[in-house]
Amino acid sequence: MTRVVVGMSGGVDSSVAAALLKEQGYDVVGIMLRLWAEPPADGAGDDAAPARENACCSIESMSDARRVAAQLDIPFYVVNVEEPFRETIVDYFYDEYRAGRTPNPCLRCNRTIRFTLLLERALALGADYLATGHYVRVDDDPGTGLRRLRRASDAAKDQSYVLHVLSQYQLSHALFPLGEYTKPEVRAMAAERGLPVATKAESQEICFVAANDYRGFVRRYAEARGTPAPEPGPILDLSGHQLGAHSGLANYTVGQRKGLGIAAREPLHVLQLDGARNAVIVGPAAALERECFTVHQTTWTRDTPPDGPARVEVKVRYKAQPVRGLVTPLPDGRAEVALEQPIRAVTPGQAAVFYGGAEGDEALGGGLIE
């Protein structure tokens, strides 16, 4: 019997994924990862961190996952990865915000924690596959035999954007049982099977940040690490004239209009967070539009980049509409992206993900926007 480890979170998606695989005849093992969470601050105050656990592995979530595993009659284990998670994900998140970039920690977590550490544990337990409750499809290219990462059937729930970082090795050991279903269908399947999480709400927050307050988190984490808090600096227009002062780069994001504290004849938006000068650059909305940009730390789901310029669809944010464009790999591992039409708020630190393939729905790879 083929063994599969299911990464369980106590939510409806991973619970139904485990149930479906059990029904399909797999030898299913459930594992929950115990991740790092921001500890509560001593004393009270405006910047005190609320007492809470990581949303992905709270006591409630762990209890729910155990109940589901017991109902499905599958083994269930908890693996502590707090330190590698903090060092690999949390420190990266903090450092990126300090540098004036806007990180997506889920991308890094999927590659280095879920599909590296958890996959290694799964294989050590004799499993052939690691499964999760992500909405995405994986199959074999009929022409090359290579594994393809494809958009989910439910466009509203598709999560290929956050999984485009996976390699052929990782995809060869990955199962995504929910890729053909919609969220309402998954909830209905949970209810039909009497799973206790059928109506459980899902969290959209960054799992390790208390109350989704990333600005407060950056200040608190700086104090915990004994490093200076984000420092104030100038707000400059495109000509370099100072219009005001900012309270720290981590408190701003590209495209932001409100909360700048400056007066102008026309609405001004954040165009750039200049880490070298510790400056916030502002300008009119039209200046947010970009047709060309570069990405670095590129990854390709087929492990090698295209031989030359490739016509693709590009997504620059998880919920963004894809835009047609041309991606040109560069010798240094970066890539140039030229879009057929300008889009707003191309944000350094976020990922640009490229789609194409025979059906047009394959996540080919991507990189972090420079």
3 state SS of 223: helix
Strands 362-369 and 351-356: antiparallel
CA dihedral 173, 183, 188, 128 (to 10 degrees): 0
Give the active site residue among 56, 57, 106, 109. 109
Q: Any residues with CB less than 8 A from the CB of 100 and at least 6 apart, and which?
A: 249, 273, 274, 275, 348
- Read off the pLDDT of residues 106-144 as tens digits, 9 standing for 90 and up: 999 999 999 999 999 999 999 999 999 999 999 999 999
3 state SS of 267: coil
Kindly state the DSSP code that residue 62 receives in the 8-state scheme.
H
Cα distance between residue 42 and residue 19, in whole Å: 42
Q: For 339, list phi and psi in degrees, rounded to 5.
A: -95, 155
CA-nearest of 51, 50, 15, 49 to 32 is: 15
Burial letters 58-95, b for 16+ CB under 10 A, else e: beebbebbbbbbeebebebeeeebbebbbebbbebbbe
* pTM for the full predicted model: 0.92
- The alpha carbon of residue 107 and the mean position of all alpha carbons in its chain are separated, in whole angstroms, by 4
Active site includes 109? yes
Residue 118 has a CB neighbour count (10 Å cut-off) of: 19
Is residue 297 packed enough to be buried (19+ CB in 10 Å), middle (13-18) or exposed (0-12)?
middle
Angle at 114 between CA 109 and CA 117, to 5 degrees: 110
* 8 Å CB contact between 342 and 290: yes
> H or E stretch including 339?
strand 335-344
CA-nearest of 256, 306, 272 to 101 is: 272
- Read off the pLDDT of residues 204-232 as tens digits, 9 standing for 90 and up: 778 888 777 888 889 889 988 888 888 99
Cα distance between residue 87 and residue 218, in whole Å: 15
Q: For 40, list phi and psi in degrees, rounded to 5.
A: -65, 145
For 313, the token pair is 């669809």
CA-nearest of 160, 60, 49, 41 to 110 is: 160
Active site includes 207? yes
Q: At what angle do helices 91-98 and 214-225 cross, to 10 degrees?
A: 100
Strand locations in 221-334 (E): 233-236, 242-246, 269-274, 279-283, 289-300, 310-315, 323-329
On whether the 231-283 domain is CATH 2.30.30.280, my answer is yes
For 19, the token pair is 């149930």
Q: What is the pLDDT along the chain (370 residues), one digit of tens a residue?
A: 999 999 999 999 999 999 999 999 999 999 999 999 887 665 544 555 455 567 777 889 999 999 999 999 999 999 999 999 999 999 999 999 988 899 999 999 999 999 999 999 999 999 999 999 999 999 999 999 999 999 999 999 999 999 999 999 999 999 999 999 999 999 999 999 999 999 998 877 788 887 778 888 898 899 888 888 889 999 999 999 999 999 999 999 999 999 999 988 899 999 999 999 999 999 999 999 999 999 999 999 999 999 999 999 999 999 899 999 999 999 999 999 999 999 998 999 999 999 999 899 999 999 999 9
Cα distance between residue 267 and residue 21, in whole Å: 53
How do the domains of the chain map onto residue ranges?
Answer: 3-133+177-212, 231-283
For 228, the token pair is 């200076």
CA distances for 358 relative to 81, 160, 168, 235, 335, angstroms: 39, 17, 18, 47, 22
On whether the 3-133+177-212 domain is CATH 3.40.50.720, my answer is no
Give the active site residue among 56, 57, 207, 292. 207
* 8 Å CB contact between 189 and 23: no
